Structure 1
Amino acid sequence: MQRITITMDDDLVETLDQLSARRGYHNRSEALRDIVRTALAQEATGDNQQQGFAVLSYVYEHEKRDLASRIVSAQHHHHDLSVATLHVHINHDDCLEIAVLKGQMGEIQHFADDVTSQRGVRHGHLQCLPIDEHTELHHPHHGEHSH
């Protein structure tokens, strides 16, 4: 590990300290490492060929005309990306779905855009976790493994 020195405006340091307190970091270094990792992950998602995982969460009106069937159709069209989906009934009108996805970032982004752009879908959010080029993705039935 290397030690570095940075210079920041007082108001930015204060904001960093507030963020650190809210998130429970023990020191500024932990906060800055996490911020840099997040920025690098975000940058890597711009590479359409980058492999990784993602979590797509969205709220939708289940009574909206044919919306549920359009979402299911999009999921089936991109079945190779889907690892798991969780469906939660929020209230009489709204449902929350959380999809865990695996594949190329470009395909994942396309799927997320396809789902969240549907009329009646609200609060869509895609969180990407690119994996580095040296990490091998697990493929079912390709040898034994333990977790």
Structure 2
Amino acid sequence: MPVVSVSMPDELLARLDGVAEEYEYTGRSEVVREGTRTLLSEFDDPSLEGRPLAGTVAVFSRPGGDRHDHHVGTLRHEYEATIVSSDHSHVGGCCLDLFVLEGQLETISTFVGTCRALEGVSAVEYSLTPLDDLG
């Protein structure tokens, strides 16, 4: 099996070790493999493919000033055809960007992945609802 080197903050590494110990994984690698499988299968829901979807995406980040704001602003422009609305708030010492999206699964899942990759983002939560089920 190939070896992959991953850099992560000490806090995240401590949490990873805690999960490995608490749930009796054989080590960090097993936890990382399971997390990777979960992430890769996250948007593999055939029942949502090809259907119009509404989604809410909450992006939590540490207050970081202009650079983060620039990245979020770039996302707003890049996905303007999909973003129905967005709001920026401060909650619990964090920045919270809330997006309401309308589009196809592939576009929304790419948006979520892009948000997760932004510098300073600590969590991304989302919810999807098929629009054709609402009528």
- Which of 43, 47, 52 matches 1:44? 47
Separation in structure 2 between the aligned mates of residue 74 and residue 60 of structure 1, nearest angstrom: 15
Gaps of 5+ in 2: 1-44
Report the CA distance between 1:104 and its aligned residue: 1.0
Tell me the secondary structure at the aligned position of residue 66 of structure 1. Answer: helix
Aligned position for 1:74: 75
TM-score (norm 1): 0.54
Contact 1:62 1:68 in 2 (8 A): no
Aligned position for 2:11: none
Aligned position for 2:85: 84
Aligned position for 2:39: none
TM-score (norm 2): 0.58
- Which residues of 2 match residues 108-127 of structure 1 at below 5 A? 108-127=108-127
Aligned position for 1:132: 132
Tell me the secondary structure at the aligned position of residue 99 of structure 1. Answer: strand
Whether 2:56 is the aligned partner of 1:55: answer yes
Report the CA distance between 1:86 and its aligned residue: 1.8
Tell me the secondary structure at the aligned position of residue 68 of structure 1. Answer: helix
Note the aligned Cα RMSD (angstroms).
2.3
Separation in structure 1 between the aligned mates of residue 121 and residue 69 of structure 2, nearest angstrom: 10
After TM superposition, which residue ranges in structure 1, 4 or more long, deviate above 6 angstroms?
Answer: none
Residue by residue over 1:9-41, the C-alpha shift from the partner in whole angstroms, topping out at 9 and shown as x without a partner, is xxxxxxxxxxxxxxxxxxxxxxxxxxxxxxxxx
Gaps of 5+ in 1: 1-41, 136-147
Separation in structure 2 between the aligned mates of residue 132 and residue 43 of structure 1, nearest angstrom: 15
Tell me the secondary structure at the aligned position of residue 132 of structure 1. Answer: helix
- Greater Rg by CA: 1
Paired residue total: 91
Tell me the secondary structure at the aligned position of residue 44 of structure 1. Answer: coil
